[in-house]
Structure 1
Amino acid sequence: MSIAAVIFDCDGTLVDSETIGALAFAEALAEEGLAMTAAEVLHGFRGRRLATSMAEAASLLGRALAADFEARLRHRTAAALRAGLREMQGATALVQALRLPFCVASNAPRAKTELNLTLTGLLPHFEGRIFSAYEVGAWKPDPGLFLHAAEALGVRPAQCLVVEDSAPGVQAALAAGMPVVALLPEGPAPWLPAAVPHVRDLSAVASHLA
């Protein structure tokens, strides 16, 4: 069955935000008394719902995080993104070349996704086609967000190619019955199912559109 639409994740897929976000998270946790490196945050929390990650951090800490932790973390992260966010290599070139409908579907709030896309100049390509788990009420690895995006695009799930960079995102795509390609610049990850192809650069996504 031919591909008729493309659904992109945002963080770590269209924009190079994962390391920036992990460092901000690690710094915020340090203020709470929990020592985690940015690498440990990435390994443990990448692609997951923030509420889930915060609950696990609180469990490691042995007490609840401060009531304003999420607000402070989001403020810290936004400031760090404004200071140094870049697109993933080849993102603009890929979306400019696409002749199929495409959208972005993220676990993040719409405001964060729009900030990411604005800072990297990608927002005009996705106006009106940004889907947030917070608005749909389904966070990856639940397939609901991707299924909602496919319905909005008017394309059958099996004809939507998902481009992802995390285990929850890949799991969500598979659960939705969608073909998926993992963007892994450093090569295949232990969590990647053997049947799921991976690319090191977004320019290689085009080869999976046939």
Structure 2
Amino acid sequence: MGLSDLEHRLQHYQENDSLDGYQPTIDREHLETFLLECRSRDRLLEFVVETGEIGPFVRHLLENDDDEYVETIYRQLFNREYDDIAREGLEVLREHPDERASVYIVGVALESDPTVAVPALEILSQADPEILIDIVREQVRADDPVIARAAIDALASLDPESLDPNERDRIVSHFQYGREATEHKTIESRIDETLAKFE
């Protein structure tokens, strides 16, 4: 918590005799420090999520031309220790994909938690289809049908005409691999429906 947040807490308490309804605040500089320096899951992590400032911070990154800085922040933002924070960042990137985030989203896209894996797969399908094709094989046959469906849909969103023959062959292979592994009829039928597009 920064000094600014403490001042706002005090003011809210003085005006309301309670902290009920108080919205925590954090300025961009402190949020950046948290992402770059914090190494543990603790109350500070919960506080940062409660502020609601991750989304605006990521929108600010989209406009930043300093690629090295932006990539450093994305690397921390999508660190596996911070799923709650990653979730907030993914929601922004879902609407505004940033290719600079792609390599750092890979780990999140391979998670077994659909609340982070699904948006990460969607983002990769828009921002970097090559990376998606490289990493999606296991998710097509994920035990969680929500993740498997998201992986299939991410591949299905790609335009076969924009892919080279090797990429199309790999996608077909991913689908065949997933079809052999799944016991879910809806996943099977979705694979069959999509497979025809790439064969």
Same fold (TM over 0.5): no
Q: Of the two structures, which has the highest relative contact order with CA contacts closer than 8 Å and spacing of 6 or more? A: 1
Place the TM-score, normalised by the shorter chain, in its bin. Answer: under 0.3
Larger Rg: 2
Q: TM-score, normalised by structure 1?
A: 0.25
Report which of the two has the higher share of helix: 2
Report which of the two has the higher share of strand: 1
